[in-house]
Structure formats: structure tokens, C-alpha cells
Structure 1
């Protein structure tokens, strides 16, 4: 019996989603063969191209290998090739390197930029509709800023540092958002002022982000203006030159970078397929996603390529939710045809719209009633992206997405403002840092409270406290000096037991075992250290001052560790303190972990959820400026 052949053309959102649906629903049917054809070996997460173009992530962060996506789908065959035509009568997909007969074909080649015939866009503008576009734009921006930093002509320099985005849809606003975040890094690397870099959005309509609720769009507009982006509305671009753009009003804006995001149309390859098309060259389909005029040929159209009017004069939007929905609908109807079942009409399920403006701010409207902005909107965008990986059953790429978006990002360009993305990812040491600080705080408070009650400050500083008039240090010369007042007994209590007795009964161990007496690191002070301590604390008065000072110092170290303030210095100090306690005969082997933990926290753990994230860079800037002076541009004007 001949197998039923299904060919899917295009591995975008619609193609991958549709293929996954087909594979799942037909996995028990051995007489079905599914072939997915794409010119690339990977799927590109098109909604995140601006992150590559804007220097936030590398291209591999949004490329998902098709072999990994379909590794468990034994009924799916992958083909890397370019489709040149569709022979609908003979039901064959023709590629540059072969032919693929089909019983059903799903066309999902996606879309491409629409320049509306504007002169100069193709020659001088930059688009953002493929990985090649994103990489080309990224390199252009880097090279242009680098050249501008060495350009002595002020006017030419200004034009080179002016970046214009045409179009205020999602792609355009997300692109300018990335430039907002990237601006400081570009300026720093090229020794110019970030204020010299100008960002403009040019929109032909009188409003921006027209798919959003007006209040949400207003929030986005205010944020852009706050970040220094100039928004020019009701101004169509009529010509793009190599170093200028011309507006319909006749105004000319000098710039070397025009990023065109003003429109989208169906993939131009579809023109050769001989099917009925509508606005923006999209292929017309019925409610089942079948190509109009070829319903009996098993031809289905999905994603940005399809033109189906859900409502009068309103086609399916060219967004991810529609791509996934049309892909799912076409797949279900192909399965229905194979199984002799009733087909289902497409019904859009658009749960909301959201736009990110850089890595830290966004606006979103969910279910037409939940409005989010700022952190919550960006967090929701990440949740939606992660849901996509869940939908296509790819835990591997869900993990990779989280690594790239939260942990492997430089310059604090993520939703956590850098708390989760420092060099060795010190986020994981935060619980240890806080616990370590609490240990020090508890031990210090014992010295403060003494025999009193923790919840009654009026009982503090009494008997057993290091703030009393009893010397707590177990040093022989202080015992002799304080014999009349019983300081020797207090010293023995502070030490835990008599050193000789401990030496006889204690057992070595790096962790406490029930019933054992822990062993001191040193049961007596080395002579050189004893001489040093006697020099520092020659009498009772000095010793009483030192034990009060040490207690306050331990409290301050504890609070600094908990708050993540001067963590490197605090950790280094604790190592010195522990070493001193060991040499003084006041520290047990079971607590020697204090030292390696302090070393571990010296990796900058205060930079994550700690005050060091702001304090240390501020000090570095101030001290660097004091020591080296300001780093100045070679040709920039004095600020």
C-alpha cells in the first residue's frame, strides 16, 4: 500500500507547529510520511531578531536546530533545500535539488519586508526579517560607531551617530529598545559620549503601536521619550539615500543607518506558485486553511503567507499566535481528511499583545483586560516564549533560552537588571552569603545578649556578655590579672572547656558527631602569637575594650554579608578573624568551613541581590576618574 505523503514547506512558527501536530496525531499511522523542507537546518525565533541585531545575544541563541526539535519524531523527514515551485496538478513540490510528491502540502514560507516601492530602501536601508538581516545590521552599527569615533568632521560624525527606525510596529519599537540598551556599551567601547548617539523613530501614521490599547501605547511612547528617543509621527519616508533620508514634508535627516520595519508582505517566492493572492501578496485561503481554487489538491496555506478574512476586510494578523493557530488548524484538517472526519474552521485565539522596549521594560495587554508594563510585561513575554517550547515539546531549547536570556547576558541587559548574569553567575552563591552572614550575626548576638533574653533588650549586656566587666579572652596573663574577680572562670567558659581537658577528650572531625567533644584547632597559642596578643592586650582594660570592639565588628561584618555590601572585603576579613580565633585556641575544627566559604564568597557574590551591584561600580568610577581622569573622545566636542 502506498504511503500518504505530507510535505510542509517552511520551518517557521507555523511550519514547525503544524509539523509537530501532524507528527503527534499520526504517530500510530505507519502509512503516513511527513517531510519538512526549509532552506536552513534550523528554526529562527523571528520575534527575537532584534536581540541579535541589537548586540544582546549571539545568533545561536535564537536558532533552534531542526534535528533537535524533531529527534523523537520518527515519522518526520527533514530536508534542507530551497523550494522553487509547486506543481499542483501533479502534486509535486519542486526544489533546487529534487522533487517531493505529496498528497497534502502545507505552505508556510512566511513573509518578508515590504518597502512599498520607496526609492532607495533596497539599496541603502536595513531590514530585520532574517538572521542574515540581523547580523548584517549588527555589524553595520558596530562599524559605523567605530568610524564615527574617529571622524573629525562634526556634521558627518553626527549623521553617522544618528540611527533611524522607520515604522512603529512591534519590530520597530523593539529594535529601537535594543539600541537604547546598547548605546552605553557602544559609546564606552569607542570612547565617545552616549549622548552623541541619537535614536529616531519615523512613523507615517499619527500614532505608534497601533495594535495596542491606546493607554498601553502611551506608556511605551512616554518611556521612549524618557530614554531620549525622538518620535516623528505623521511623516512618511519618501526616499532613502546612502547618507540621508527624505520625509514627505521635504525635511531631510542626515543618517547612515535607516532600519526599515514599516511593513510585511508574503514571501515573494509564492508569486511563482500560481495561486490567488490578496493584499501584500498573501495567498488566499478558506476557513480550513485550504488554498482558494485548489481545495481538492490538498494544498494548505499557513502563517504570514495566508490571507483569510476572519472578519470583513480583516485578515489573520501576521503574528506568532496566528502562525501557530493556522499551522495547528491546517494540520488538524489534513488529519481529518486522512481519517475521513469532518474538518474544523479556523478560529483565532489571540490572548493578547506585548512589546518589549529593551531588556527591562515592556507593555502588554492580555485577554483585552489585563494591562501590564515594566518588569511584569517583560516577565510575561519570557513566560510566553517558554510556553512555545513547551508547546513544541523542546525542554532542551527552553533551558537554552533561559540561559541566554537570564544568565549569559552582558551589561545587565536582562529583566533581572543583571542580578542573574554576572561572570560566574554568582546568583547561586546568594543563599550561602546570606546564611553565612546570619551565622556571624547569631554568634555576635550571643556575645551581646549573654545570659539575657533575645526578645528583651533590657536584659542584654549582663552576665556572660562581652559587654560586661568580665574578660572573656582565655589568655593566661589576663587570667592572672583578673583572678580576684573570677575572670579565669569566665575565660574557661568562653573557651568551652579547659584546653588540657579538651586535648584529652576531644576528637578530630570536620563535622559534629553526636556525643563527641569537638577538637580545637590549636589547644594552646603559639609563642609568637601569644606575644603579639599580650602586646595588643596587655591588661584588663584594653581587653574589655577589644572584646566590645570585636563584637560590634562581627555584627557589622554579618550585616554587610547579608546585605551584600563590600562582600570581598568582609569575606577577606572573616578569614583573618577565623585565623586569629584558631591561633587563640578559641576555634574548633568542625567550624573550619568558615574559611573556604569566605573564599567562595570573594567571587563577587554581593553583585547579585546585594548592594555591591551599585556601590562597587560607583566606587570604581569615582576612583578611576580620580586616578586616570576622564576618558575622552578623540574628536568629540568637550562636554
Structure 2
């Protein structure tokens, strides 16, 4: 039996490490196991969207089974309680696991800095359970406040404070800022009775953002939308009824959401490896801990690069350190040279509600507003695609823009996009469009398009004088000299596209073909404005019309699995079910 490699933790770093181990040891006899206490991983950086009612809880869940499908990785759902470094064993309450190499990817946990009452009375945002708890509590405060007659008690219920002005804190207050507007309408509470505050101990919020103008845009946006930003305001104590600042100011509240810092997972800090003052495992440039058979990645690792900068707690850091650890374990097993971790981080992004964000990106610079919001969505989908493929990206789009819990937070355009329809009705349009293409192709066959020149004759009688000059040149140079060939291509394409649409196979591609053909017909003068319904119908059916009474219902899931198997295993396997 070959080497046994265990990845402890199934977050982005852990799942990526397992994928990379399978890739780098593709032809080796090894046993790769991922141990995770939950049945799925959570996209931690988007928890504020669940807490603030932007998306449903399912929107931050990523299936480990799907992420590791068609790999040799064995997924074990268990909670490890003890690590025996000397004897290379892991223990849970019911099982023990042997390993030759171990990757620790247990993430981090909130740091309370010894602030009295913080751990006992503040909400944290470090798990899906935390986010759901915050969501439920905020709604409960509005429910109670609508009937509360005592002004002080009511004010306390309607005061919401986020402690910590880093990425998570700013994103959390941004979601609250939007959601409370809806809650005020729902529970008939005047908006001016609700107090939102972002409290930061440092002189400015978002301390890791270097461009001051971007930080100021965030502050201005928050202030404009009724959020008080308090800097140089360290929280010194917390009670069930409020907080006290270093200045002596007391703020009555029933809600403090603490995002002021993180530290290494307490379980990791006590397994017998060298750690830093935050409880993270100290690793070298190969991601090796003080024990050469134990590696640490992501938030579990404390690594300082050659430039003297510590590895930040970012998804990108977790992914790159996971790749390095997996590569170097494979190198140890194969007795080949290892590679150093050279972080190549591409910047930071932070959203402030649904419609505003800032981004500081290498090679691009600073962005704000909708461009930054767009980039944040693109980056999120990039991470999800790398982990679980196109299906997860499609799910992300549905969670963000269609299947949302509170459509009142959407813009007018987004609200219309989010309206769904039964695909049955679109399938009727699909079949009709397909029949029209088949009829057109048959007519062209009857007119002799497969045997005699028709394009040049047709073009001379068509209004060629209205054709764009560049397109006329293209037709004269390339199409007319080979007219019969291109006529045959057009005719067979019409029939082929029509058949695909009628049976509902590769509908998206057939719709693109419809658009391409019609634009060419229009440019050449062979189609009129009245024929643009072809294009409109094609666009309408691109959203999955082939999955209703069509072969896409069966073929697309199968094809997705075939492609995923090919990407993961580098082998084409048609029987993947």
C-alpha cells in the first residue's frame, strides 16, 4: 500500500489541497483522505450576505462531494479531537486514522483580545450557524420593537453595531444598511429610529486598503445611507445591554456583531507544533511545520515571505498555499525537488451592500461602484469554478440574482431578471423556431442552393448598396467565388440548427447559431427588419429551454460529468453515472 495523506479541514484550502494531491500523484499508489466535520464547506467570505438577508443559507454552501467528484479522494465526515504527531495518528470520538503526511487546513476563529463580555454577549460571523443566528436575531429585534412602548428599550432594540472595520465588518454593515430599509417598511418603524454604527479601534476603516480615496468613498457611502462610522473607538467592555468605548462613551444596544480580529483555531494551537502568538502553525517556504510530515495552509499557517510580509487571511492565500503543500508532499513521495511558495496576490475587494463595492487590483488599479461589484462577482465565480466547475457558477448566479429571499433589495432591472417562468412555454418557442429553420432550409434546397449559384444573383437583386462596405468587400472577396460551397453550408446549417432546436439538443449553441446566421442574412440584404424575431426568440430560449421536453434534460448533466471526469482524471469516460 502506498503513502497515506490526510487533509484535515474541507474549506477552500483543504478541498483545493485534496484536488491538487490527486493531480500531482495521479499515477502513484497513494491513499488521499479529506476529513471534515460538516457535509459541505462554507464560503466564509460571503456569510455577511446570509446574515443580511441578501441570499439564502444554501448560497454559501459548496458540496465537497461535487468538488472532489472523479478524484481518488475519500471524504470522511468526522470531527477530530486529538492529533498524535509522534505516532502519526488522528483521533475522533469513534475512530482513529493513520497518516504518512498531514495537511492541516482547519481555518481560524474569532479573536476577542480579552475584552470583558465580548465572547459572552457579541455575535460573531465565522460560520453559517453564526450568520443564520444574526439574521434571526435582527428580525426578532424589529418584531419586538414594533410593539415596545418604552422608548429606551425600543431604541436599544433598534441600535445595531458592528465592531471591527475590516473587510468583514464593512461588508456586514453594508448588508444591514440595505436590509433595515425593508424591515422598517415591513414592521412600520420609521427609519430614523434605527441606528447603525461601524466601530473601529484604528484611525481608519479598511486598514489594508492602500488607496485612501477608495476608503473615503466607502465612508461617504455609509454616511450617506445612515451609517455612523466611529474610528479611534476601541471597545473596552460588552454587556447584554450595550458596549463601552475607550473614550468612556456607552452605547446601549442589544446587537453587537464582532468582526474585529481572527486567530488560529484553538484546536490547531494545541497539537504540539510551533505556533505564533495568534495560535497559527509556523511553516517554512514549503508549507512544512516544525514536523516535516505535517503541513499547514491558509488561516492555519503562519508564513512570512521573503519580502517580510506575512501571508494574509485571504481565499487566494489559501488556494496558493494549498497548491504548494500538495506539490511538496508529492515531491517528498516521489523524491523530486520541492517548490517554494511565492504568493501572487491580485488585490482586495469589499462590497458595501448589493450595489456598491471597491476593488484594489494589481494591473488594474482602484475601482468603485458597479465596476468593482462586477469584478467581485467575477472573482467569486472564478474561485467556485476552480473548486467545483461551471455548475457551481450557475448556482452562484441563481443564488445572487434569481432565487433571493428578499427581492426588495434588488434594483428594478434585477427584479425583472429574477422573475422566473416555466420552461414549458419557452420550449414551444424553441420548437417553433426550429421548424421555421427547417422550412427555410428545405426551401433553399428546392431553389437549388446545393447545386447552382444563388448568392451572387440574389445579392445583385438585393439592396447591396446598403450593405456595409467592409461586409460587401468580404462577400466579393471570399463568398461569391465559392458561392455553391457557402450556399450548401448555410442550407445544411439551417436544417441542422432547426433539428437541434426541435429535439432540444445543445439549445444554447443552436440559439447562438441562429443569431449568427440572421446577422449575416441581414448584413447581406437577404433578410428584412421583420425577421429580427429570430434573434429575439433565440435569446429567449438560451436560458435552458432545451431542458423542458428536450434532450438537453438528459444530455447536459451527462456532458457536465464527462467533462469534469476528463479535467480531473485526464481520461475521457463516457459512462460516468
Task: Give the TM-score of the pair, scaled to structure 2.
Answer: 0.71
Quote the residue 2:65 is aligned against.
67
| Aligned match for 1:194, one of 191, 195, 208 | 191
Quote the residue 2:317 is aligned against.
322
| Aligned match for 1:390, one of 360, 385, 391 | 385
Q: Cα gap change, 1:66/1:415 in structure 2, threshold over 3 Å: closer, same or farther?
A: farther
The residue correspondences of 1:247-262 to structure 2 (distance < 5 A) are 247-262=245-260
| Aligned match for 2:55, one of 57, 61, 66 | 57
TM superposition shift of 1:272: 2.3
Find the aligned partners of 1:288 and 1:420 in 2 and give their Cα distance: 50
Find the aligned partners of 1:351 and 1:426 in 2 and give their Cα distance: 41
CA contact (8 A) 1:352 1:368 kept: no
Name stretches of at least 5 consecutive residues in structure 1 with no aligned partner: 433-590, 601-639
The residue correspondences of 1:294-443 to structure 2 (distance < 5 A) are 294-295=291-292, 298-311=293-306, 314-367=309-362, 369-409=364-404, 410-413=406-409, 418-424=414-420
Deviations, residues 236-290 of structure 1 (Å, cap 9, x unaligned): 0000011110001110001100000000001111122011111311110111000
Q: Cα gap change, 1:210/1:130 in structure 2, threshold over 3 Å: closer, same or farther?
A: same
Q: Cα gap change, 1:258/1:70 in structure 2, threshold over 3 Å: closer, same or farther?
A: same
Quote the residue 1:11 is aligned against.
10
CA contact (8 A) 1:379 1:415 kept: no
CA contact (8 A) 1:420 1:426 kept: no
Q: Cα gap change, 1:326/1:14 in structure 2, threshold over 3 Å: closer, same or farther?
A: same
Which is bigger in relative contact order (C-alpha 8 A, separation at least 6)? 2
Deviations, residues 510-557 of structure 1 (Å, cap 9, x unaligned): xxxxxxxxxxxxxxxxxxxxxxxxxxxxxxxxxxxxxxxxxxxxxxxx
Aligned alpha-carbon RMSD (Å): 2.3
SS of the equivalent of 1:309 reads coil
Quote the residue 1:265 is aligned against.
263
SS of the equivalent of 2:320 reads helix
Find the aligned partners of 1:69 and 1:413 in 2 and give their Cα distance: 31
Find the aligned partners of 2:238 and 2:55 in 1 and give their Cα distance: 29
SS of the equivalent of 1:28 reads coil
Find the aligned partners of 2:319 and 2:191 in 1 and give their Cα distance: 40
SS of the equivalent of 1:136 reads helix
Deviations, residues 7-28 of structure 1 (Å, cap 9, x unaligned): 0000111101111111222233
TM superposition shift of 1:156: 1.4
Deviations, residues 134-192 of structure 1 (Å, cap 9, x unaligned): 11111111101110111101121111101000000000000001001101221122121
Find the aligned partners of 2:412 and 2:77 in 1 and give their Cα distance: 38
The residue correspondences of 1:23-422 to structure 2 (distance < 5 A) are 23-29=22-28, 31-73=29-71, 75-212=72-209, 213-292=211-290, 294-295=291-292, 298-311=293-306, 314-367=309-362, 369-409=364-404, 410-413=406-409, 418-422=414-418
Deviations, residues 346-379 of structure 1 (Å, cap 9, x unaligned): 1111101000001110000110652111111111
Deviations, residues 571-595 of structure 1 (Å, cap 9, x unaligned): xxxxxxxxxxxxxxxxxxxx9x9xx
Find the aligned partners of 1:146 and 1:269 in 2 and give their Cα distance: 38
Q: Cα gap change, 1:422/1:13 in structure 2, threshold over 3 Å: closer, same or farther?
A: closer
Find the aligned partners of 2:231 and 2:107 in 1 and give their Cα distance: 29
Quote the residue 2:478 is aligned against.
none
The residue correspondences of 1:383-532 to structure 2 (distance < 5 A) are 383-409=378-404, 410-413=406-409, 418-424=414-420
CA contact (8 A) 2:41 2:63 kept: yes
Name stretches of at least 5 consecutive residues in structure 2 with no aligned partner: 430-530, 541-577
Quote the residue 2:492 is aligned against.
none
CA contact (8 A) 2:269 2:280 kept: no
Find the aligned partners of 2:42 and 2:303 in 1 and give their Cα distance: 25
The aligned length equals 429
Deviations, residues 83-141 of structure 1 (Å, cap 9, x unaligned): 11221111112222211111110000000000101111111100000111111111111
Task: Give the TM-score of the pair, scaled to structure 1.
Answer: 0.65
TM superposition shift of 1:311: 4.7
SS of the equivalent of 2:226 reads coil
Quote the residue 2:563 is aligned against.
none
* Structure number with larger C-alpha Rg: 1
TM superposition shift of 1:422: 3.6
